[in-house]
Chains A and B, each alone.
Chain A
Amino acid sequence: MRALRLPHSPKVLLGLGITVFFLLLTIVGPYLAPDSPNNTSFAPNLTPSWHHLFGTTSLGQDIFSQTLVGARATVVVALVAGLVAALLSTVVGVAAGYLGGAADDGLSLLSNVFLAIPGLPLLIVIDSYLPVNSRSNALVIGLVISVTGWAWGARVLRAQTMSLRNRDFVEAARIIGERRWRIMFSEVAPNLLPILASSLLFTVLYSIGAYVTLAYIGLTSTSVWNWGTMLFWAQANNAPLSGEWYWFVPPGVCIALVGTGLALLNFGIDEFINPRLRESGLTARQRRQRGLPRRVRLGLTPVLRDAPVRRARVMDASKVSS
């Protein structure tokens, strides 16, 4: 087992920091909130001040408290949806890639159909038929979102599994008579981990966007505070046109920051898989320390010397399409 190395690139460290910060906020946010998000006893439309860090809504609610409390529902639903979607895509993708034949045809067709249907309209149709009381249920909403978000991961994992299936070390395991599930889990699965991690990040990212969007158009329960509901109320009360920026900017920036954190983390995974990208993530000083040329010259994309040897290869998207 190789020791876990912290990534060198400042981009990735920043992403890690942001992600950890918001995960902590999910846990402690509701306890830190100075007021109840529903408390309407303050003066309406206060601009940000020491008493109300993010100001108050036109109903006299404290926006800072709403933002802190809203973190939990947003992140929890996104995690539920992301995990379920990642699980679905792993099962479908690995099975399709490893089994091949008719199973592959069927499963690939299934994921291609789900890729082609635009996700959000499907989500809106399904969600608008949900009974109102299950719209406030994080599990139900998470499951519905995962239905529309698993297909891309399945496709990428299938391609990677297929390319691994014919490698020599898998062939060797097959020849010495290892059982099928053992080959799948001990030989193939570890080499899928970077791709799996990256597809988990993407599904969580997608789920945050989908959940916030549903809340923004009023399709989740308005009694559950999340960042989308805050945006819903801001829009409903015409905050953008009356210049009440402090009402919708905090939740929007939080959403964007979480997304940025996850995407930057994903750069780390990309650089882990593709050594050529790794070099491009270094700062000028790190470059000097490693004895790399300051400006990269043509045809010489240096592959860092202490790079771990990986069997995983980056998929060329043009080869992935079936």
Chain B
Amino acid sequence: MRLILHRLGLYAITAWVAITVNFLLPRLMPGNPIQTMIGKLQSNVTPAEVRSIQLSFGGSLHSGLVHQYVTYLDQMVHGNLGVSITLSSPVSTILRGAVPWTVGLIGISTVLSFFIGTIAGALLGWTRGSRLDALIPTATFFQAVPYFFLGTVMLMIFGSELHWFPQLGAYSLNVSPSWTWAFVASALRYGELPMISIVLSSIAGWILGMRNMMITMVAEDFVLMSVAMGLPRRRVIWTAARNAILPSIANLSLAIGLVVSGALLVELVFNYPGVGDLLLNAVENEDYPLIQGIFLVITLAVLAANFIADMVYFALDPRTRTEAQS
């Protein structure tokens, strides 16, 4: 329980740091982007909209820094992330349309990549020294390929040359978003190639980590013991793997941030209408309120995912519970 609270505290502080970075950056950076932005807007928006932008940055720029900060925190607490300059609608509304796509895409591919990679790593660790070890440099190569580059290559080969998968977007233009079977099937079909790209880019880390732990674990006495007891090979592998998996789960919460970072760019390659695509468009148009809102939402989502991963780890590793009691 103490550990859970400790973790919660850490994530709360992290969220606060992210919000504060968002607040301070536009004020500390040379060139005063807020003034530039408002100047750029003055000609084609109503004064009310200018006021709302000022609000989302923490009140009028003429008031003191502390007052701005308090106003800013207040806005954040109420879920008001400001108004996008280019799309002229509230950032939170825009995000509501994009978040489900990203959560679906990245969520499913992370889970797939973790399970497939861990199982493959356990088997590679068990059969170490065999020909299967040739897979390791290959896996290392895939780990070093940037997500977006692999996505680009996949798109060219399987999308535009072989036509095995649809090329761009998240669903066919013939269906409209709704909870019908036709739409869900189309969304899944369009999600396949981006998902395969993300899995291929992220799987190597799980394979290599699990393999190294498995090699260490196989040398433990309890594995020798279970072989000596005559347990079926499959049971023995399972026993060793169950113990070797803990560091992988401990790393899960660290890896989520990296996977999300990489996967956001895959959306750009495939024109997938998620948060990543939105972020990169916002960067291109210097839409600062949107950039900051997206950064905040991504950070909070990653923190939530981290917390879930931590909980799984605490549930699986009895050592964390005895530590908490002492």
B71 → A minimal CB distance (Å)? 20
Main secondary structure of the interface of A (DSSP, over half): helix
Q: Taking A11-B136, A263-B144 as contacts, is the C-beta distance between A119 and B152 under 8 angstroms?
A: no
Do residues A116 and B10 form an inter-chain contact, with CB atoms below 8 A? yes
Taken together as a complex, chains A and B put the C-alpha atoms of A125 and B294 apart, in Å, by 9
> Could you say which of B10, B149, B227, B288 contacts A252, with CB atoms under 8 Å apart?
B149
Taken together as a complex, chains A and B put the C-alpha atoms of A249 and B152 apart, in Å, by 9
Residues of B with C-beta under 8 A to A234: 152
Task: Kindly supply a per-residue 1/0 record for chain A positions 217-234, scoring 1 wherever the CB is within 8 Å of any chain B CB and 0 otherwise.
Answer: 111000000000001001
B133 interface residue, CB < 8 Å from A? yes
> Could you say which of A14, A116, A216 contacts B303, with CB atoms under 8 Å apart?
A116
Taken together as a complex, chains A and B put the C-alpha atoms of A270 and B209 apart, in Å, by 12
Do residues A218 and B265 form an inter-chain contact, with CB atoms below 8 A? no
Do residues B152 and A259 form an inter-chain contact, with CB atoms below 8 A? no
Choose, from A21-29, A54-62, A166-174, A205-213, the stretch at the interface.
A205-213
B157 → A minimal CB distance (Å)? 9
> Could you say which of B13, B33, B218, B286 contacts A301, with CB atoms under 8 Å apart?
B218
Do residues A301 and B299 form an inter-chain contact, with CB atoms below 8 A? no
Task: Kindly supply a per-residue 1/0 record for chain A positions 253-294, scoring 1 wherever the CB is within 8 Å of any chain B CB and 0 otherwise.
Answer: 001111110111001001000101100100000010000001
A252 → B minimal CB distance (Å)? 4
Do residues A117 and B18 form an inter-chain contact, with CB atoms below 8 A? yes
Do residues B299 and A218 form an inter-chain contact, with CB atoms below 8 A? no
B128 interface residue, CB < 8 Å from A? yes
B73 interface residue, CB < 8 Å from A? no
User: Which residue on chain A has the smallest CB distance to residue B303?
Assistant: A116
Taken together as a complex, chains A and B put the C-alpha atoms of A112 and B180 apart, in Å, by 43
B254 interface residue, CB < 8 Å from A? yes
Q: Taking A256-B149, A280-B128, A317-B250 as contacts, is the C-beta distance between A116 and B14 under 8 angstroms?
A: yes
B196 interface residue, CB < 8 Å from A? no
Taken together as a complex, chains A and B put the C-alpha atoms of A154 and B224 apart, in Å, by 36
A150 interface residue, CB < 8 Å from B? no
Do residues A213 and B146 form an inter-chain contact, with CB atoms below 8 A? yes
Task: Kindly supply a per-residue 1/0 record for chain A positions 86-127, scoring 1 wherever the CB is within 8 Å of any chain B CB and 0 otherwise.
Answer: 000000000000000000000001001101111111101110
Q: Which residues of A, 1-38, contact B by the 8 Å Cβ criterion?
A: 11, 14
Do residues A280 and B298 form an inter-chain contact, with CB atoms below 8 A? no
User: Which residue on chain A has the smallest CB distance to residue B246?
Assistant: A318
Do residues A299 and B224 form an inter-chain contact, with CB atoms below 8 A? yes
Q: Which residues of B, 249-288, contact A by the 8 Å Cβ criterion?
A: 250-251, 254, 257-258, 260-262, 264-265, 268-269, 279-280, 283-284, 286, 288
Do residues A121 and B261 form an inter-chain contact, with CB atoms below 8 A? yes
B220 → A minimal CB distance (Å)? 8
Taken together as a complex, chains A and B put the C-alpha atoms of A229 and B54 apart, in Å, by 34
Do residues B145 and A252 form an inter-chain contact, with CB atoms below 8 A? yes
Do residues A255 and B144 form an inter-chain contact, with CB atoms below 8 A? yes
Task: Kindly supply a per-residue 1/0 record for chain B positions 1-43, scoring 1 wherever the CB is within 8 Å of any chain A CB and 0 otherwise.
Answer: 0000000001101100110011001100111010000000000
Do residues B129 and A295 form an inter-chain contact, with CB atoms below 8 A? yes
Q: Taking A116-B306, A217-B268 as contacts, is the C-beta distance between A241 and B167 under 8 angstroms?
A: yes
Taken together as a complex, chains A and B put the C-alpha atoms of A109 and B9 apart, in Å, by 10
For B22, B140, B156, B220, which residue has the most chain A Cβ atoms within 10 angstroms? B140
Residues of B with C-beta under 8 A to A294: 129
B234 interface residue, CB < 8 Å from A? no
User: Which residue on chain B has the smallest CB distance to residue A315?
Assistant: B247
B267 → A minimal CB distance (Å)? 11
Do residues B260 and A118 form an inter-chain contact, with CB atoms below 8 A? yes
B317 interface residue, CB < 8 Å from A? yes
Choose, from A76-84, A128-136, A189-197, A304-312, the stretch at the interface.
A128-136
Do residues A235 and B269 form an inter-chain contact, with CB atoms below 8 A? yes
Do residues A121 and B29 form an inter-chain contact, with CB atoms below 8 A? no
Q: Which residues of B, 159-204, contact A by the 8 Å Cβ criterion?
A: 159-161, 167
Residues of B with C-beta under 8 A to A109: 10, 13
Residues of B with C-beta under 8 A to A301: 215, 218-219
Residues of A with C-beta under 8 A to B133: 280
Do residues A213 and B265 form an inter-chain contact, with CB atoms below 8 A? yes
A48 → B minimal CB distance (Å)? 16
User: Which residue on chain B has the smallest CB distance to residue A248?
Assistant: B152
Do residues A299 and B149 form an inter-chain contact, with CB atoms below 8 A? no
A243 interface residue, CB < 8 Å from B? yes
Q: Which residues of B, 129-151, contact A by the 8 Å Cβ criterion?
A: 129-130, 133, 136-137, 140-141, 143-146, 148-149
B255 → A minimal CB distance (Å)? 11
Do residues B215 and A276 form an inter-chain contact, with CB atoms below 8 A? yes
**Sample (27) of A-B pairs whose CB atoms are under 8 Å apart:** A112-B14, A116-B10, A117-B18, A117-B257, A118-B302, A119-B257, A119-B261, A122-B21, A125-B21, A129-B29, A131-B31, A217-B265, A217-B283, A218-B284, A219-B283, A231-B149, A240-B152, A240-B269, A248-B153, A255-B145, A256-B146, A258-B144, A280-B215, A296-B128, A299-B221, A300-B219, A314-B216
Closest 9 CB pairs of A and B: A259-B144, A120-B261, A299-B224, A317-B247, A252-B149, A118-B257, A129-B29, A301-B219, A256-B145
Give the A-binding residues of B (Cβ under 8 A).
10-11, 13-14, 17-18, 21-22, 25-26, 29-31, 33, 128-130, 133, 136-137, 140-141, 143-146, 148-149, 152-153, 155-156, 159-161, 167, 212, 215-216, 218-221, 223-224, 227, 246-247, 250-251, 254, 257-258, 260-262, 264-265, 268-269, 279-280, 283-284, 286, 288, 291-292, 294-295, 298-299, 302-303, 306, 317, 319
